[in-house]
Amino acid sequence: MRAVIRRAIGASLLTACLLALTASLGIGVAAAQTTLRMTWYSDGNEGEVMADLLRRFEDKHPDIHVVLDQVPFKAINENLPVQLASGQGPDIARVADMGGLARYMLDLRPYLKDAAYWEANYGPFLQWMRVPGDTSSIPGFMTQLTVTGPFVNKTLFEQAGVAMPGPRATWEDWAKATKEVAAKVQAPFPIAFDRSGHRFFGMAISEGAAVFDDKGNPAVIDDGFKRAAKLIFDWHNSGVMSKELWGSVAGATYRGANEEFKNAQVVMYESGSWQISQFDKTIGAAFDWVAVPTPCGPANCSGMPGGAALVGIKSTKHPEEVARVLDYLASEDVVAEFYARSLFVPGHLGLARKGLDYKDASPVANAALKVFSDGVNQLAPAANQLQGYPASRVILNAVISRLGQAVSGEITLDDSYKRIAGDIEQQLAERNKK
C-alpha cells in the first residue's frame, strides 16, 4: 500500500515538475479550441476575402477556429431554412431573407463589447433582421447594402450606332433602344431581368405599386403593379425579353442572366450592385460595360434595396465565441477592408459618410459603384418598406411564381393577379398559425 502511495506521489511530483518546466520555457498548455461553422455564399470574390479575414482573426484568437462552408445561393434560399427549422443549422450564416429567418437569429447584444457602436453604424438595417415587436436585438451586420439596377453593354450600342437613353429615361425608352440594338448586332437578349420577385418590384414601384395598404398590410395588386406586370408580359411576347430565361425554371426558382451578360448576349441586364465584382473580374477587356441609373416610371425612378447579413444563429452552443467573431468582422477597419476588396456598397453608416477607397477596382467598376451608391437616394418608401417586411419572401415568391406562369403561357395575366393575391393571403395565414 505504501509503495502505491509513493508511486502516486512520485507521479504527481513528476507532472508538477513538467508543468513548471514548460511554463518556465514559455511553452504553456494549449487552450481548448472552439470550432464554429459559418455558412456562406458568394456573388463575386467575397468568399475569398472572408476566408482571408477569418485566417487573420484566428491568428489573434487561437482558441476559436471558424470553418467556412461555401455554398451556392440556392442552398441559402432553400436548404438553410430547413436546417434552421430542425435546429441543425450552423453557428453563423450569411443570409439574404433576413425577415424570414429572423426567428432563428441570435441576439448578440449581451455578448458584444460595444453595442452602441453597432446601433450607431448598423442601426437602420438591424430592423430588417428582427421579428415583429423586437426593437432592441442585434442579430448581425450587413455584409453589403445592395441596390437593384441595370448594366448595359455599351459596346453593343456603339456597334449598332444607337444612342443610349439618358439618366431620366423610362423603361419604355430602354425597351425601344435595346430592341433596336439587338436587331442590328444580332444579340439574342435585348433586355434580361433576373427571374426574381425582388428585381421585378424595382420596376413595379417605379410604376406606382404601393405594395401595402395604409395599415401596413400587403395589398400587392394595384394599378402600378399591373402596369409593370404587363410590361414584362408584353416584352416576352414581343421579343424584348426571352422566354428562354424565365421559362427555363418554374415556381419561385431564381434564374440570373449574368452568364449571358458576360458573354455579350444581353444588351441591358436588370440585376444589381452585387454583380460589380464578378463583372470587373470576368469581363475584362472583352467589351465596355456600364451601370446606368434605374429607369423611371410614372411614380419614381426607384430600385429595390437589399443585401446580405452575417448573423449569429440562436441554436449555437457557443454564443460568446460567435459574438467575438462577428465583433471582429463588423469592426470599422475590418469591414471597410471587406467592402473595398469585395466592391460592395457599404451597409455601415460611418463608412457611407466617409466614402470608401476602392483602390483594387477598375475605373469601370468605380463608376458603377458610384451609380449604385447614388441610387440609394432614389429609393421610394415602398421599396424600403417591402425590404423590411418580415414576410417579404412570401410576397416575392408568389409574384415571381405566378408571373412566371403567365409569361410561359400556363395562365393568363389576369389569372396571375388573382393567384398572387390568393397565395399571399394563404401563406400569411399559415405563418400566423405557427
Q: What is the tens place of the pLDDT at every residue in 39-98?
A: 999 988 999 999 999 999 999 999 999 999 999 998 998 899 999 999 999 999 999 999
Predicted local confidence at residue 38, as pLDDT: 98
N- to C-terminal Cα separation, the chain: 66
Give the residue, 416 or 26, on which the prediction is more confident: 416
What is the C-alpha to C-alpha distance for residues 43 and 72, in angstroms, rounded to an integer? 9
User: Phi, psi (5° rounding) for residue 65?
Assistant: -120, 130
8 Å CB contact between 34 and 65: yes
What is the C-alpha to C-alpha distance for residues 287 and 153, in angstroms, rounded to an integer? 7
Grid-cell match 411614380, residue found: 299
Predicted local confidence at residue 104, as pLDDT: 97
% of the chain beyond a pLDDT of 90: 83
Predicted local confidence at residue 80, as pLDDT: 96
Instruction: Choose among 47, 148, 84: nearest CA to 372.
Output: 148
8 Å CB contact between 44 and 281: yes
Predicted local confidence at residue 123, as pLDDT: 92
pLDDT at 426 > cutoff 90 = yes
pLDDT at 261 > cutoff 60 = yes
Largest distance between two CA atoms of the chain: 103
Q: To 5 degrees, how large is the angle CA 358–CA 360–CA 361?
A: 70
Predicted local confidence at residue 17, as pLDDT: 44
Predicted local confidence at residue 132, as pLDDT: 85
Least confident among 19-23, 167-171, 363-367:
19-23
What is the C-alpha to C-alpha distance for residues 418 and 195, in angstroms, rounded to an integer? 20
Predicted local confidence at residue 109, as pLDDT: 98
How much is the average pLDDT of 316-325? 98
Instruction: Choose among 150, 432, 176: nearest CA to 289.
Output: 150
24-36: per-residue pLDDT in tens?
444 343 457 999 9
Predicted local confidence at residue 388, as pLDDT: 87
Predicted local confidence at residue 405, as pLDDT: 97
What is the C-alpha to C-alpha distance for residues 183 and 23, in angstroms, rounded to an integer? 78
Residue 163 has what DSSP assignment?
P
192-231: per-residue pLDDT in tens?
999 999 999 999 999 999 999 999 999 999 999 999 999 9
- pLDDT tier, 434 (very low <50, low <70, confident <90, very high otherwise): low
